[in-house]
Amino acid sequence: MKEFVLNNGVKIPAVGLGVFRVEDANIAYETVKMALSVGYRHIDTAMIYGNEEAVGKAIKDSGVPRQDIFLTTKLWNADQRSGEIQDAINSSLKRLDTDYVDLYLIHWPVKETYVSVWKDMEHLYKQGKAQAIGVSNYNPHHLDDLLKEASIVPAVNQIECYPYLTQEDVISYCKSKKIYPQAWGPLGAGKSDILSNPVILALAEKYKKTPAQIVLRWNVERGVIVIPKSVHKERLIENLNITDFELSVDDIAKVSALNKNQRLGSDPETFNF
Ligand code: NAD
């Protein structure tokens, strides 16, 4: 299993399982258990996904020691606005049935609080409730503002990123500050034709891999953590098994050239929830 090392020395598996839109508790439970049984050691959830309890139970029942699993959850916008950050993480930990998460992220840069809430994040990090703290959907200007006030540099910035939205500027900014970029929607979130794009199909043929494996491998080779979502065993295995081949520099560039700045999710500059 390929791992990256965050700016505080904590290791994170390069591929994780995302569980957004897996609201059904039984499906979430079975999916996480199946993922752990086929080798996943990194799970990405969030309070707003409504499945923390199922995720926690699956981890408990999996037989995999808690300390071998990298578990992420996120601080929702309403909890930023209310200022109840301690309550928010305590409730998440309770639902997840664990004493700590490996990574706690600010889910979105809420206009009024995206800087001030970082002090609370630093506090819960010092309490040991999160092994690492980070942000999500932050653009460089949000991070510039945050870094002026921060005593701890965010370990991760989780952003939408797939070959039609390569996010070169955000990624190079993050790397310059030692913030690990992490890609959400790395397969195009089931809303894009990226997996049938002719360039991706040709590379899949060339490397004898699937289109999903090419797209995930492209991000990992750029030093970007990926958290693809699937609830199907074959796809879980396929998405995890991307470490036995390497794309050439030219082929990485071919994938990057597909960029058209096409967002499938909300824009951090205009979201309103
Ligand atoms: P994704 O890019 O992972 O796409 C998932 C979809 O791709 C699946 O529903 C399925 O339709 C398809 N798929 C999965 N494996 C496949 C395969 N091997 N071959 C063909 N098709 C395949 O999209 P996502 O779920 O939106 O993003 C991944 C994770 O990122 C989420 O589950 C969540 O954990 C996280 N996320 C975070 C934010 C954020 O604001 N921080 C927003 C959205 C998602």
46-83, pLDDT tens digit by residue?
999 999 999 999 999 999 999 999 999 999 999 999 99
Whether pTM exceeds 0.95:
yes
> What pLDDT, on a 0 to 100 scale, did the predictor assign at position 1?
82
> What pLDDT, on a 0 to 100 scale, did the predictor assign at position 229?
98
* 54 domain-assigned: yes
Q: Output the six-digit token pair for 199.
A: 């360039």
Tell me the CA–centroid distance for residue 257 and ligand 1, in Å.
22
Q: Which domain holds residue 105?
A: 3-191+222-231
Q: How many CB atoms lie within 10 A of CB 193?
A: 9
Which of 229, 231, 233 has the most ligand 1 atoms within 8 A of CB, as the residue to mutate?
229
Residue 67's closest CA among 131, 119, 14?
Answer: 131
CA-nearest residue, atom 37 of ligand 1:
184
* 27 domain-assigned: yes
* 256 domain-assigned: no
Residue 229's closest CA among 196, 171, 179, 183?
Answer: 183
* 103 domain-assigned: yes
- Contact (Cβ atoms closer than 8 angstroms) between residue 100 and residue 128: yes
Return the sign of the alpha-carbon dihedral for residues 27, 99, 104, 186.
negative
Here the CATH number for the domain that contains residue 186 is 3.20.20.100
Which of 139, 184, 271 has the most ligand 1 atoms within 8 A of CB, as the residue to mutate?
184
* 267 domain-assigned: no
> What pLDDT, on a 0 to 100 scale, did the predictor assign at position 269?
98
* 144 domain-assigned: yes
Q: How far apart are CA 98 and CA 180, in angstroms?
A: 24
**Domain tally for the chain?**
1
> What pLDDT, on a 0 to 100 scale, did the predictor assign at position 165?
98
Coil, strand or helix at 4: strand
Return the sign of the alpha-carbon dihedral for residues 17, 22, 26, 27.
negative
User: Catalytic amino acids?
Assistant: 49
Residues with CB under 6 A from ligand 1: 18-20, 44, 107, 136-137, 158, 184-190, 195, 212, 227-230, 235, 238-239, 265
- Contact (Cβ atoms closer than 8 angstroms) between residue 104 and residue 71: no
* 245 domain-assigned: no
* 254 domain-assigned: no
Tell me the CA–centroid distance for residue 19 and ligand 1, in Å.
8
Residues of the chain with pLDDT below 50 are none
**198-220 burial by CB neighbour count: b if 16+ within 10 A, else e?**
ebbeebbeebebbbbbbbbbbbb
Which atom of ligand 1 is closest in space to residue 184's alpha carbon?
Answer: 30
Which of 15, 21, 107, 187 has the most ligand 1 atoms within 8 A of CB, as the residue to mutate?
187
> What pLDDT, on a 0 to 100 scale, did the predictor assign at position 238?
98
Whether residue 107 is annotated as binding a ligand: the answer is: yes
Length of the chain, in residues: 273
CA-nearest residue, atom 18 of ligand 1:
235
